[in-house]
Structure 1
C-alpha cells in the first residue's frame, strides 16, 4: 500500500515518583495492537529533558512526515484518559531529569502563548465514550507546564496543529496496561477518522467552488 498513513505515537521515560512511566507502557501496548493495515505506526520513548525534546521533535516530523503525531504522558492527577486541546508556551519552571529548565521558561521566545490542535478533542472524547470500550475519556485545556505541555506545544508548532496529547493515569489507578493500550488505540483511530472527515469536507467545499455555473 503506497498511501499508508504514517502515525507517530510517543511515551515518556520514568521521572520523579513515576519509576515506571505508564505512558510508555501504554504506547508499547498500542504498538502490539496496531492501528490497522492502513496505518504505519511508529513509536518512540521521549526523554524527560527539555533539550532532548528540542532536538528530537524536529527530526521526528522531518524524517517521517507523519499525518499525525500523538504524544502520551502520565499524570498522577488523572483518573481518566485525558485529551489535551492545546499546548502552552510559557511557565516552564520545573526542572527536568537533567536538573535543567529553559532560562526563558518558555518553549519558543516569540511563539504564540497557546497553540491548539486541529482536532476537536470534545468530538473525539464523545465518540470514544459512546463506544463503551471500558475506558473513560475526558478533555483538558491545561497540560501542566512540564515536559508534557512543552512537548505538545513544540509538536503543535512543528506540525501546524496536526498533533495531539493524551494524559494517562498511573498503572492500576484504575486501568491496566492492556486497558490503556486499548483506550489509546480507540482514541488514535477516532483522531484519524476525524482528520479524514475534515479533509473530505475541505475537498467537498473545494469542488462546490469549482463546479458552480455562471
Structure 2
C-alpha cells in the first residue's frame, strides 16, 4: 500500500478554523484506490517551524506523493498552484509573530519551482465532478508559498510528485464579510477527486489554464 501525504494548516490571522485542515482531516486514513491510502497531517502557520515539520513528516512517512493545501482568502474555487517562488514577503505576521519581508525561502535556491502534479488533469476531473476548480499562477508570498517551495525543493531529485492546492473559506467564516466560500463536503469531495486523479495520471492533459493578466 502506497501513501499520499496530504497536509493542511492550523488556523491563522485570528480565524478559529482553517478550511484546508478541516477538509484534509476528513480524508485521513481513506483508501482512495487499491494501492493508495491518504495520511493527513496539520502544519503550523509559522515560517520558522513549518519546514522542519514538513521534513519530519516526509522522512517518517516516506510518501509516494505529497500534496499540501492551504486557505486562499477571496478565492471562489479550488485552486491548483502552478509555481512556487523563492520569496517570503508577509503581509501579516505568522502565528509566531514573524513577518519576513523580501527574504528567500532557501538561500541560493532556484528562483522558482513548478509543481510536478498533473494540475490540468486535476482541474478537469474536479470540474467534471461538478466542483469549481482552476489553475492558479501564484501561491502568494506567505507560509503557503514557503511550504510549496520547500516541498518542491526537498523532493526535486527524488521522483516523488508534489504540489500545492488552495481552497476557499468555509461558508460559516464569511457570514459577515460576504467573501467567496465553499461547503466543507464539497471541498472534501474535490480534494478526493484531485488526489486520485493525480495518482492515476502520469502525463498531464493539454488544456488551457492560463490567464491574460
Range of TM-score over shorter length: 0.7 to 0.9
Q: Secondary structure of the equivalent of 1:145?
A: coil
Is 1:149 aligned to 2:145, yes or no? Answer: yes
Q: State the TM-score, normalized to the length of structure 2.
A: 0.83
CA distance in 1, matches of 2:64, 2:150: 16
CA shift, 1:33, in A, is: 5.1
Computed over aligned residues only, the root mean square deviation of the Cα atoms, in angstroms, reads 2.0
- 1:21 aligns with 18
CA shift, 1:57, in A, is: 1.5
Equivalenced residue count is 192
- 2:209 aligns with none
| Structure 1: stretches of 5+ with no match in the other structure | 199-214
Q: State the TM-score, normalized to the length of structure 1.
A: 0.82
Q: Which moved more, 1:53-62 or 1:103-112?
A: 103-112
- 2:166 aligns with 167
- 2:211 aligns with none
Q: Could you list the runs of 4 or more consecutive aligned residues of structure 1 that deviate by over 3 angstroms after TM superposition? A: 101-104
- Which aligned pairs between 1:115-194 and structure 2 lie closer than 5 A? 115-129=113-127, 131=128, 133-160=129-156, 162-172=161-171, 173-194=180-201
Query: Contact 1:90–1:107 (CA<8 Å) still a contact in 2?
Result: yes
Q: Which has the larger radius of gyration?
A: 1
Q: Secondary structure of the equivalent of 1:35?
A: strand
| Structure 2: stretches of 5+ with no match in the other structure | 172-179, 205-213
Deviations, residues 4-50 of structure 1 (Å, cap 9, x unaligned): 12100000001114321111111122237542342122111111001
| Structure with the largest fraction of helix | 1
| Structure with the largest fraction of strand | 2
